[in-house]
Amino acid sequence: MLRALLLENLHPLASSILAAQGIEVITRTGALDEKELIAALDGVHLVGLRSKTHLTENVLAHAPDLIAVGAFCIGTNQIDLGAAARRGIATFNAPFSNTRSVVEVALADIIALTRRLTVLDKSMHAGVWNKTAEGSHEVRGRTLGIIGYGNIGTQLSVLAENLGMSVVFYDTSEKLALGNAQRMDTLDELLDAADIVTLHVDGRDGNAGLFGAKQFARMRPGAVFLNLSRGFVVDYAALAESIQSGHVAGAAIDVFPVEPKRSGDAFESELRGLPNVILTPHTGGSTEEAQEAIGQFVANKLRDYLATGTTTLSVNLPNLALEQTSGSHRLAHLHRNTPGVLAAVNATLADHGVNIEGQLLATRGELGYVVTDTGSAVDPAALEALRNMPQTVRLRLLF
Give catalytic residue positions: 230, 259, 282
51 backbone dihedrals φ, ψ, rounded to 5°: -90, -15
Judged by phi (left if over 0) then psi (alpha if -120 to 50, else beta), residue 396 lies in: beta
Nearest-angstrom CA–CA distance, 110 and 121: 16
- Rounded Cα gap, residues 23 and 68, in angstroms: 13
Q: How far apart are CA 7 and CA 30, in angstroms?
A: 6
CA distances from 290 to 179, 260, 359 (A): 26, 22, 36
With contact defined as beta carbons under 8 Å apart, do 90 and 69 qualify?
Answer: yes
The length of the chain, given as a count of residues: 399
Quote the radius of gyration of the chain (alpha carbons, Å).
25
Q: What are phi and psi of 54, to 5 degrees?
A: -110, 120
Closest Cα partner for 8 from 23, 38, 29?
29
Written as one string, the DSSP assignment of 173-229 is: S--PPPTT-EE-SSHHHHHHH-SEEEE-----GGGTT-B-HHHHHHSPTTEEEEE-S
Where on the phi/psi map is residue 43: left (φ > 0), alpha (ψ -120 to 50), or beta? left
Between CA 75 and CA 80, with CA 78 as vertex, the angle to 5 degrees is 110
CA separation for the pair 347, 361 (Å, rounded): 16
User: What's the rounded Cα separation, in Å, for the pair 136 and 373?
Assistant: 65
